[in-house]
Amino acid sequence: MARIVMKFGGTSVADLDRIRHVSELVACEAKKGHEVAVVVSAMSGETNRLVGFVEDLAADTQNGGAIDDEYDTIVASGEQVTSGLLSIALRRRGIKARSWQGWQIPLQTDGAHASARIKGIETLAFNRSLKDGTVGVVAGFQGISPDGRVSTLGRGGSDTSAVALAVAWGADRCDIYTDVDGVYTADPRIVPEARRLDRIAFEEMLELASQGAKVLQTRSV
């Protein structure tokens, strides 16, 4: 029996049918007797939609102060929705599951709203719940700041949520599911001779991610 973190990005949870499909993949691991934590992104396009609301209102402001704390409150809501939806889809398959928001775990961050860094993850209650056979469906991308506000980890941050949770919880594996079939030497849509890599070292992945490869958020590497 292993402890597994499974992370699904926005395109993997883009609509209810894909969420049903994800629930099937998760159920398959849970039925093998593994302890499973799932980290989800917002449905594809949702975070951009929410950011759009913030930017629209922010443009009204003639002489307003910072809005980053409320930006986080708004944009973090996309992940809250998918965590709840996936929990329901799992329960419909007869799998015990519950959603966890960043503040509920809690996943503590610094106070740098909109690009917060993870300071610590308290896994006591989380661990107890998963030991009990309940799949933990975690809203990625979000945490709680030192002053008790919702914080977010920067765009693409749910990769970092997944990796950090895997470390804190002592997972055997962190599987990042995505909508492409692997990491290539270059973007195959632009460079036709790009090769898919079977293995990649951290240094190379870091290089690719920081040059904008988009497969993983740089901080998660």
The burial class, CB within 10 Å (0-12 / 13-18 / 19+), for 154 is middle
Cβ-based nearer residue to ligand ASP, 91 or 110: 110
How many Cα neighbours within 13 Å face the side chain of 160?
A: 24
Helix, strand, coil share of the chain (percent; to 5): 40, 20, 40
136 binds ligand ASP per the rule CB under 6 A: no
List 135's β-bridge partners, or say none. 97
Q: Which of these ranges, 8-16, 27-35, 139-147, 182-190, lies near Mg ion under the rule CB under 5 A? A: 8-16
Q: In Å, how far from its chain's centre is CA 151?
A: 13
Cβ-based nearer residue to Mg ion, 143 or 156: 156
143 binds ligand ASP per the rule CB under 6 A: no
- Tell the smallest beta-carbon distance from residue 183 to Mg ion (Å): 13
Applying the rule CB under 6 A, the residues between 65 and 124 that interact with ligand ASP are 78
The mark string for 123-152 relative to Mg ion (x by CB under 5 A, - otherwise) is: ------------------------------
Tell me the number of residues near ligand ASP by CB under 6 A. 13
How many Cα neighbours within 13 Å face the side chain of 212?
A: 1
d(CA 202, CA 210): 12
Q: Which of 23, 83, 87, 158 binds ligand ASP (CB under 6 A)?
A: 158
Q: Which of 5, 7, 8, 9 binds Mg ion (CB under 5 A)?
A: 9
d(CA 56, CA 74): 13
157 binds Mg ion per the rule CB under 5 A: no
41 binds ligand ASP per the rule CB under 6 A: yes
Q: Which of 37, 141, 171, 219 binds ligand ASP (CB under 6 A)?
A: 141
Can you read off the two tokens belonging to residue 201?
Answer: 């070292």
Q: Which of 107, 136, 157, 165 binds ligand ASP (CB under 6 A)?
A: 157
Can you read off the two tokens belonging to residue 108?
Answer: 């503590």
156 binds Mg ion per the rule CB under 5 A: yes
17-47: b or e for each residue (b if 16 or more CB lie within 10 Å)? ebbeebbeebbebbeeebbbbbbbbbbbebb
Q: Which of 10, 102, 136, 143 binds ligand ASP (CB under 6 A)?
A: 10
156 binds ligand ASP per the rule CB under 6 A: yes
**Positions in the binding site for ligand ASP (CB under 6 A):** 9-10, 41-42, 47, 78, 140-141, 155-159
